[in-house]
Amino acid sequence: MVRSWWVALAVAVMLLMSAAARSFAAPVYFLVSEFPDQKEHGDSFVVPIEDADDIAHARDLINRGRAAGQTQVTADMVAGADDINRNILADGKPAWSWHISRFDGFADVGIELTDGWPSFIEQDVQGWINNTGGGTVDNDGDGVPDGGDATVGRIAFWSYTVTAELTGPPTDLAIVPRTVVPLPAALPAGAAMLALAGAALRKAR
């Protein structure tokens, strides 16, 4: 009976760890918009974040604002709509004709060259790319630009930060209400595994 209990517990732990690993493989989407006391343009964009520490900091920014530190989102961007990067704050949530290709991290301050706002980029996407980066996109790391002439720009808007977490299908994201505290996706699976382990334990007795 004791052996059966340990086997059930080991299986439950392994399944929980597997579910946790899968949950952090997919990005968590966040809304980036102006600080509440610096609203001038009223626009926003979407940033996907995968690293657990960066996700935790993004949520801290939502809860504490500037007090969380490192408020600036630094990232690469490329031309082209991906149907994920949208102006969530606008009626109809229109898609931008550019999107984030790589999230770098959070910073306290960035260079003035990369300061701007989403709708300003939209006015001349290629011009922004040329001014802030102009490097080639090489997602597969083979040293050859993917898609030929594609280029990558940089953003680090001074008056913008993470202001909300997003939920739903990537192409139809919605703001998570502030009263809801999002839990890691592994927790429901973990609860189910623990319930199974408990059932196995009762059966072993």
Span 57-112, pLDDT tens digits: 999 999 999 999 999 999 999 999 999 999 999 999 999 999 999 999 999 988 99
Q: What are the distances in angstroms from CA 71 to CA 9, 144, 162, 178? A: 42, 34, 7, 18
Region label for 139, one of left (φ > 0), alpha (ψ between -120 and 50) or beta (otherwise)? alpha
**According to DSSP H, which parts of 25-140 are helical?**
52-64, 118-123, 125-132
H or E segment to which residue 31 belongs = strand 28-34
CA-closest candidate to residue 156, choices 51, 32, 67, 17: 32
**CB-based contacts of 11: which residues, under 8 Å, 6+ apart?**
193, 196, 197
In this structure, the strands spanning 72-79 and 160-167 are unpaired
Question: Could you tell me the two tokens for 136?
Answer: 């080639």
What percent of the chain shows pLDDT beyond 70? 66
* pLDDT value for 133: 81
* 181-193 pLDDT tens trace: 454 544 444 544 5
